[in-house]
Structure 1
Amino acid sequence: MGAVEGTTRVVGIFGDPVHHSLSPRMHNAAFVALGLDYVYVPLRPTARTIGEAVGAIRALGLVGVNVTVPFKQEVIEHLDSLSDEARAVGAVNTIVAGEGGCLAGANTDVEGFAGALRARGVRLRGKRALLIGAGGAARAVVQSLVAGGAADVVIANRTLARARSLAADFDAGTLRARGLDALEDADLLADRNVVINSTSVGLKGAALPGYSIEATAMDCVHFDLAYGEKPTAFVAAAERAGRPAIDGRYMLLYQGIAAFKLFTGRKAPADVMARAIGIVG
């Protein structure tokens, strides 16, 4: 990271927790590579202070922020406008301050998820997916699955009503809601081509209770939206079982490439950003 001066423009990330985030490492490497006088910092508001934190973007003259767990839906009411993608998804992961301090919300997670799959040679059309979780990140995944032509998507969540609400919001005939009993349904698991974990369980190093990877087909792709310094329990279990696995760094990279353009107006140095978070080749 270059020297921080009085002219340096500030970008941040809102999350709780946020200490694990690789976004500062990724974006600061990109700023240095392009010689931009920017700095990217982690910021940890709380559920009680998130509204004030969004207002501080304008008050302090920040360029903008990324938004992660658990604030992707909570920030919406504090914004002045939403992109079409963010409105369709009902979640925001990028906020940019525009003319007169107008705060615009965008969602680059949809492209992040799709880009990660493309990079690993996975095509969604006609695929049968199991999505675990129904929070803000899950909404972007659903949008991407529907747009990509997935044939059948089961949303499994601890609170069944929330899974049903998410499925209803997208009004697509390919979406079904289940409780977490779906994780123990051998027939369902055997029929899936892709299993996505959108919960924060991986951040705590825990495994998904009751989930049997052995019940899935050998070519079933396992994608954990979470990431850490080492593979999450979900990814590690998939790798041990010989299933294709993708961790959240890939989604982080591709959503970050899109967010970088929104923050700076410049094309992101994708290779630099990938190397900064340990993705090589």
Structure 2
Amino acid sequence: MPRKYVIGGNWKCNGTVAQVSDLVSTLNKAGDFPSNAEVVIAPTFLHVPMVKDAVRSDVNVSLQNCSVDSFGAYTGEIAPEMIADFGLKWVITGHSERRTGFGGQAGETSEIVAKKTKKAIEAGLTVIACVGESLDEREAGNTLKVVLEEHLAAIADALSQEQWAKVVVAYEPVWAIGTGKTASPEQAQDVHASIRSWLSDKVSPEVAEATRIIYGGSVKGSNAGTLADCADIDGFLVGGASLKPEFIDIINAVEGK
């Protein structure tokens, strides 16, 4: 069976009530989305209830992160079980901004990302698990070492083969996130193909064939169609452009692919 595209919009720490209402209205008025696309949007924690109640039924609502623990004395955390109990089915783990840290916070290790991924799957969620290298790592020739041997291997060590059915891998080269730089279709396809080959060798050929591997890093309406033509690119995780009407163009770019 052909893999269904996943088009994700990560809103990050953006949006007032009025702005979020406008974003939802734009999605609701956009007309039919391609039947081969699964659309997922990730508002802030605060806006999730509002978006969940207002957005069209064929758009999934995701959280941007979850706790590595269940219920308990973890001030400020959101347990995966809470996400599922609220009626949501998606969560993002391991985004580069969480791996590197910000605002004085320490970044998350690959082991923490793997534990969050496993915990979320056990709660019944589908996980968009992010992997990707920095500019220094790419220029040093360490892209595959970081993506495969560090980020992806930790997740594979934590999951059973069956649990991979609930994982979407998002390859996000850190040097292309919010910079305006985009990996060329050839660069992105090369890494995606390497991820699929690694999954075939380390997990199983069946998992490799079924797993959707999506690209994130300054995806725009102008380049989405070309990227989607690549054999191993199964959609996108979109940042800044998901906050604009352009996100509709990105979704529609996979029509007929």
- Using the size of structure 1 for normalisation, the TM-score is 0.30
- Using the size of structure 2 for normalisation, the TM-score is 0.32
Identify the structure with bigger relative contact order (alpha carbons < 8 Å, sequence gap 6+): 2
